[in-house]
Amino acid sequence: MKAKIGITGNIITYKRPEEVAAFDANYTPREFSQAVELAGGIPYIIPIMDESLAEEIMSSLDGLILTGGQDVSPLLYNQEPHQAIQETSPQRDTFELALINAAIHQGKAILGICRGLQLLNVRYGGTLYQDLSEDKTAYLQHNQQSLPQFPTHRIQIKDQSSLSPIFGKEITVNSFHHQAIDQLGQGLTVIAQSLDQVIEAVEAPADNVIAVQWHPELTHIHDQHSINLFRNLVERALPKD
């Protein structure tokens, strides 16, 4: 039996030649479905829908990946938007929060990646730096200029965390984010940080939740640690007899 893993989707405007009108398309980066398949699961892409469908959607899945994308709306953590914030998607925020709540309610495994980590922190009552320029201790390049398959900065993993059996004590990761966790949500535990103390991973074992700030889907082909993170999700998602 293979675990069925839902992957949150997004909407992109598909531009055509001048004589053909553009249209909106549902999408998710292909690396996510490839990583799930390689890890032994079956990927299912979830388009943005009405939040009322979240419980029924999750009832047909074993696990959930929250993917990257737009900034999380600061209104969700009771802040006004600062000048450095980028595009937000309230519809996506609302739907994905409903998916998170449904997954936790049903005991399904969750893996958050980049925006997914940030949205999970907000769901647990935390806040975000709307831009890392607001974090006076951050000095590393967290939105790298190198190609995505090349890791660019180190992170340190907490001992006896969910990630330590997968990654050990220290690894080098890629990095494509300008927001990060500020105040940690209640119920989450920090399990990895960069050398400038930006939070790079959190967990909530009671809710079967792990989330990372980097992008393992972009390195899973050539990096054993990255594919092992997806294997961990698949293992956590398999129904326990």
List pLDDT tens digits, range 42-72: 999 999 999 999 999 999 999 999 999 999 9
pLDDT of residue 92: 97
- For 139-181, write each residue's pLDDT tens digit: 999 999 999 889 999 999 999 999 999 999 999 999 999 999 9
| Catalytic residue check, 82 | no
pLDDT of residue 20: 66
| Catalytic residue check, 114 | yes
CB 61 within 8 A of CB 44: yes
pLDDT of residue 12: 87
CB 110 within 8 A of CB 60: no
Backbone torsion region of residue 190, taken as left when φ is above 0, otherwise alpha when ψ lies between -120 and 50, otherwise beta: beta
Among 31, 142, 217, 220, the active-site one is: 217
Q: Which domains does the chain have, with CATH numbers?
A: 4-237 (3.40.50.880)
- For 116-134, write each residue's pLDDT tens digit: 999 999 999 999 999 999 9
Among 31, 96, 114, 200, the active-site one is: 114
CA atoms of 211 and 193, how far apart (whole Å) = 12
Among 142, 153, 177, 215, the active-site one is: 215
CB 48 within 8 A of CB 97: no
| Catalytic residue check, 142 | no
The DSSP-derived string for 45-89 is EE----GGGHHHHHHT-SEEEE---SBPPGGGGT-PPPTT---B-
